[in-house]
Amino acid sequence: MKDINIDFNDLDINNIGSWPTPVKAIIIVIACAATLAIGYFLDIKNQQTALERAEREEITLKQDFETKQAKAVNLDAYRQQMSEMKESFGAMLRQLPSKTEVEHLLVDISQTGLASGIEFKLFKPEKEVFTEFYAELPIKISMTGNYHQFGSFVSGVAALPRIVTLHNIVIKSNNESGAGLTMDLTAKTYRYLDEDEISEQRRQAKKKRKKGRR
């Protein structure tokens, strides 16, 4: 076999066509190998990126599945809890008087005070405050008596079948007569709104929202 002796220093880079055939073959082999290597590297890199993306999606899907599975397992418990909440809400709603029952409730509060032995100096229902589902009726009250009578009144109000809350209680000496005490407070009772009133409250709220966006 004939030896091939090539002096690479004699090769003219500007005249590749004159290079010996073995050199050209080597260059072609190197170029092909480099092209294949680069293509393989880019393909592997793209596949690795796709794999990482798939792994992230797998984690997200697994978390979603676990969340939904937990909800499905506890669905009966959620339904039971919702039923209990509706029942509790209904019981609370029944403690709120209707519009026609408020007058009777005011009489009950007044009678509770008289039965406790106190004397009313002021018993003034004020303007109702409306929310979406109920109305709040504040009542300004001023009464005279002693601690025992005041305690009896508060206990009597708490025992009423309707919800009545007491706020801003102030007890002071009765400077006018020099005897006994005066208790000032605000009693609040609540009534549920009928369907027409609820619709009106929602309409007013919607109107305010539109006005606020202008």
pLDDT tens digits, 30-73: 766 667 666 666 666 667 777 778 778 888 888 887 787 777 77
Using a pLDDT cut of 70, give the percent of the chain over it: 69
* Mean pLDDT of the residues in the chain: 77
Work out the angle at residue 195's Cα, subtended by the Cα atoms of residues 138 and 203, and round it to the nearest 5 degrees. Answer: 85
Pick the CATH number of 98-199 from 3.10.20.30, 1.10.150.240, 3.30.70.60, 3.30.450.40: 3.30.70.60
Residue 177's pLDDT band, with cuts at 50, 70 and 90, is low
Q: Does the pLDDT value for residue 152 go beyond 80?
A: yes
Quote the tokens at residue 99: 């519009």
Check the CA dihedral 47-52-58-60 and report its sign.
Answer: negative
Quote the tokens at residue 48: 């690795």
pLDDT of residue 212: 67
User: For 50-59, 78-87, 185-194, which range has the lowest pLDDT when averaged over its residues?
Assistant: 78-87
Question: Higher pLDDT residue, 130 or 97?
Answer: 130
Q: Does the pLDDT value for residue 18 go beyond 70?
A: no
Among the residues of 74-124, which ranges form H helices?
Answer: 75-94, 102-115
CA-CA-CA-CA torsion for 103, 128, 134, 132, nearest 10 degrees? 160
Question: Higher pLDDT residue, 132 or 114?
Answer: 114
Question: Higher pLDDT residue, 77 or 10?
Answer: 77
- Cα(101)–Cα(95) distance, integer angstroms: 11
Q: What is the DSSP letter of 85?
A: H
- Cα(137)–Cα(162) distance, integer angstroms: 13
Rg (alpha carbons) of the chain, rounded to whole number = 44
Task: Give the pTM.
Answer: 0.52
Q: Does the pLDDT value for residue 136 go beyond 60?
A: yes
| Burial of 87: CB neighbours in 10 Å, binned 0-12, 13-18, 19+ | exposed
